[in-house]
Amino acid sequence: MTTPETPNGVVHRNIKAPQSEEISGPAAGTRNNMSDEDLRQWQKHAQRVKEKVLEQVQVQLSDLLDQALTETVESFTQTQATFNGKTTSKSAPRSQRTDDGKVFVARPSLLDELFEINHIRTIYHMFIAVLLMFGLSTLAVDYIDQGRIVLEFDLLFFAFGKLGAVVWAWAVMFLYTLLVPYLTLVIWGSLYHTCPSKLGLSLGTGLILSAVQTYVLGLFPIFVVVQYQLPPASRFIVILEQIRFLMKSYSFIRETGPVIMRNTPKEGESPRFPSLSSYLYFLFCPTLIYRESYPRNTHIRWKYVGITTGMIFGCLFYAYFILVRLCVPVFTPETKQPFSKRTMVLAVFHSILPGIMLLLLCFFAFLHCWLNLFGELLRFADRMFYKDWWNSTSFANYYRTWNVVVHDWLYQYGYRDFLWLSKKKFRTAAMLSVFIVSAVVHEYALAMGFGFFYPVLFFLFGIFGVVFNFAMNDKRQSPVYNVLMWASLFLGQGVQVCLYSQEWYAQIHCPRTENSFWEMVTPRSWSCSYQR
């Protein structure tokens, strides 16, 4: 008998099927593993792309909303005057309608918004932890060296000594700034429209006020600082308040004077002047640009006031621990290290950490905490005292965003007025003039605060800062330039802390032998031979 043959196709399937399973089984597993790994990689990549896109969209949306809000307010202020309730025509010339200057808008500070993000708030918590470590290390060293816990804070008490002289000096400057410029404006404004020689009246009033300003707000604070030999922090309080009162009184005269000149009163009516209460509010609110009214909040957040006050005191203790733990042990003469180029270079690089920490503390304590504290107490709603300067890729942007309060004043009354006088022909000269004025004022504050003249900041800011401003301009957008900016800040702060600390001890151990001009302006650390 013959066995029936199986069809070729069926035999082929029966034979090949097991082989196929044996071969394809491991391959299929490998393909599945590769597919799972690719899927995970793709999910991670998609998540990173999503985070970047959301971050970019958030930043761009925030910028667009700020720009739209500012343009809306500007368009409103262009059609309605904010002084004395008078309106201007929509058909007024463009130069008049766009010359209102800074527009105040209700908005929170940037760090207040960023602290709502957990990741950013964690960085804030890290700084608090470092402060705790400074405190614990100080307590441990005191206990090991003296066998007991010492909480004297002698450096703080020394720095803020003679506060009585500071208080009465501030009171004199405040009362003068409140009454004299305001009464001068009222008297001048009452006579301006009826006086036959308006130019002579204005020049005479301006000269008299300038002379009085020079004596009261110019020479009087210097006399108090020198005569009473105030310690450093007390010196800085008097000098910085002197500068603030000068800038505020100038803004008040500069903003209200032209309005009085333009608005001729009707026959039988007296000129309209800003109220004394609005000027008093301006003297305390955290801005240097005068307006008769500002956007105001509806209530005071007392919890915010308490937290901000605590942060200010925390910054003071932070600065104290940085000086005591990181600066004094390096620059005190008791270290007995002979001066050389090696020790100089090492001192500069050792000063980078305390220098940059002091810079961040000054920014956070003053530009964020101090100004927000007064803004909250006065219900001042525009809290844009700074911008995201830490993201700057150019020094031009850094100078604009580091201190918006002072930048607005310099731009309004320095840069714009220079362009107006030069008919917008010398923009570079206007920028350089603003840099020089700012550098001189900064150096003046440091010289009076420390009690000696050592123009380190002037050269770093007025010379190198100008070069970096043009070399690293707004066209530089690469993150590499942000790294370069931070590296420059690190090195600059290290140089300042190192040289000012050396000069401080040189002034103590090698005092002046005469009071000649060159003796006072020549740094003592150049010739002092005491061993560090």
Beta carbons of 520 and 453 less than 8 angstroms apart: yes
> Under 8 Å CB-to-CB from 101, ≥6 apart: which residues?
289, 412, 416
First to last CA, the chain: 118
Q: Which position has the token pair 């998540």?
A: 47
Question: Which residues on adjacent β-strands are paired with residue 107?
Answer: 382
The two structure tokens encoding residue 155 = 């450096």
Helices marked H in 263-394 — which ranges?
276-284, 302-322, 328-331, 341-350, 352-362, 371-377
Q: How many CB atoms lie within 10 A of CB 174?
A: 15
Q: Which of 265, 248, 363 is nearest to 315 (CA)?
A: 363
Q: Which of 446, 424, 463 is nearest to 501 (CA)?
A: 446
Residue 293 per-residue DSSP state: -
Cα Rg of the chain (Å, integer): 32
Beta carbons of 284 and 299 less than 8 angstroms apart: no
Residue 80 sits at φ, ψ, to 5 deg, of -130, 130
Q: Which position has the token pair 């150096």?
A: 443
Beta carbons of 409 and 251 less than 8 angstroms apart: yes
Q: 3-class DSSP state for residue 80?
A: strand
Nearest 10 degrees: Cα torsion 116, 119, 124, 129? 140
Nearest 10 degrees: Cα torsion 226, 228, 233, 238? -70
**Hey, which residues are catalytic here?**
442
Handedness of CA 37, 42, 45, 51 (dihedral sign): negative
Nearest 10 degrees: Cα torsion 497, 500, 502, 508? -140
Residue 107 per-residue DSSP state: B
Q: Which position has the token pair 């932070």?
A: 318
Helices marked H in 193-231 — which ranges?
198-213, 220-227
Q: How many CB atoms lie within 10 A of CB 254?
A: 16
Beta carbons of 454 and 523 less than 8 angstroms apart: yes
The two structure tokens encoding residue 433 = 């003039």
